[in-house]
Amino acid sequence: MSEYKKACRMLIDFAALLMFIYLLIRPSEVGKSVESGISFCIRVIIPSLFVFLVLSRMFMGGVLSVFGKSLPITLIIGGILCGFPVGAKIVRQLYEKNLLTKKQSEVLVSCSDNASASFIISFAGANILGSVKAGFLLLIGKFIVSLIWYCFASRTYLDEEERHFAPLRGLGSVSLSEAVKDSARTMADICACVIFFMCVGEVVKSFLPDYELVRSAVRGFFEFSGGIELCRYMKPGTGYIITAMLLGWSGMCVHMQVSIAVGGKISIRLYLINKIIECLLMGVFAVLTKTLAF
């Protein structure tokens, strides 16, 4: 292990120790945060994601077999339709079947993991911002930004031969029972990450000024859907921009989910770089389109 990784590991361990001690002193904060996280998973995360995980697990194999030559576009669209971490799970399966190289897998993971269309339109748009039109604009922006990143990453990270993906054959679709079991395990991972990072976000937030913008940004840094939920209390234009940026960043919670989905076999370095860039580009997109959103 390099000195840099050792230093990062020690810093994370020290931060975990400090939080452990702090929460021992103030256990009521743990209970409130966990209760809030469980409630949020039941109200928002599971309804907006579980069914789409099951259905995508059933049909994506057949879709990829048909549209394998357009694999990047298919995965970007599939990721947006189905939500986190479907893109990472599909790429890992293809990599384990030796249908993708490691570099191809890293590029595809970086651009194919996005919040689901149902979450963006119904929760972020209609529920939080009070505008379905705003949700559709954010969905369009997310697709455009992901496509721009893929074009950039493939040109700079892949050689000419790796930019051409081999046809995908014999993947097929899985049974309903297998899809339900696999999606239930994925859902458990997602909810566990949401609960943990909502708790972390609440602890960090308690040390910062109690402003709406600060609260949303800090919570969203750790768990983006919780940060977006706080945008309902902002002015529509400001809430729209912050929501767009949090959709681009996606939060440490989602990054953990993607890391779990790839199982340590595929680096998520490009994915993390993309999320930083997406956060900025989505903010610019929101500034340019906020007059159309309401």
pLDDT digits (tens, 9 = 90+) for 21-44: 888 887 777 788 888 889 888 987
For CA atoms 78, 82, 83, 88, the dihedral sign is negative
Burial status of residue 181 (CB atoms within 10 A of its CB: 0-12, 13-18, 19 or more): middle
pLDDT confidence of residue 4: 67
- Provide the 8-state DSSP code for 128: I
CA-to-CA dists, residue 164 to 35, 88, 109, angstroms: 48, 20, 16
What number of other Cβ atoms are within 10 A of residue 17's Cβ? 10
Query: Residue 274 and residue 286: Cα distance in Å, rounded?
Result: 18
Q: Decide: 111 and 248 in contact? Cβ < 8 Å.
A: no
How many distinct structural domains can be found in the chain? 1
Q: Decide: 245 and 273 in contact? Cβ < 8 Å.
A: no
Closest CA to 256 of 222, 219, 208: 222
Helices 269-293, 251-262: axis angle to 10 degrees equals 140
Judged by DSSP in three states, 114 sits in coil
For CA atoms 153, 158, 164, 169, the dihedral sign is negative
Query: Residue 106 and residue 91: Cα distance in Å, rounded?
Result: 9
Query: Residue 75 and residue 147: Cα distance in Å, rounded?
Result: 11
pLDDT confidence of residue 171: 59
Domain membership of residue 288 (yes or no) is yes
Cis-peptide into 85, omega within 30 deg: yes
| Spacing of C-alpha 178 from chain mean position | 24
Domain membership of residue 172 (yes or no) is yes
Domain membership of residue 13 (yes or no) is no
Burial 243-264 (b: 16+ CB within 10 A, else e): bbbbbbbbbbbbbbbbbbbbee
Single-letter amino acid, residue 263: G
Domain membership of residue 178 (yes or no) is yes
Domain membership of residue 9 (yes or no) is no
Domain membership of residue 83 (yes or no) is yes
Helices 251-262, 86-96: axis angle to 10 degrees equals 20
pTM of the model: 0.84
- How many residues would you count in the chain? 294
State the number of CA atoms in the 13 A half-sphere of 248 facing the CB: 27
CA-to-CA dists, residue 91 to 101, 174, 185, 206, angstroms: 10, 16, 18, 38
Judged by DSSP in three states, 26 sits in coil
Domain membership of residue 281 (yes or no) is yes
By residue range, what is the domain housing residue 99? 28-293
- In tens digits, the chain (294 residues) has pLDDT values of 567 667 777 887 888 888 888 888 877 777 888 888 898 889 878 887 788 778 877 776 666 666 656 778 888 888 887 778 888 888 888 888 888 899 999 999 999 888 888 889 988 999 999 999 999 999 999 999 999 999 999 999 998 888 887 766 655 567 788 888 888 888 888 888 888 888 888 888 777 777 888 888 988 999 898 899 889 989 999 999 999 999 999 999 899 889 988 888 899 999 999 999 999 999 999 999 999 988
Among left, alpha and beta (phi > 0; psi -120 to 50; other), residue 263 is left
pLDDT confidence of residue 278: 95
pLDDT confidence of residue 2: 65
pLDDT confidence of residue 68: 58
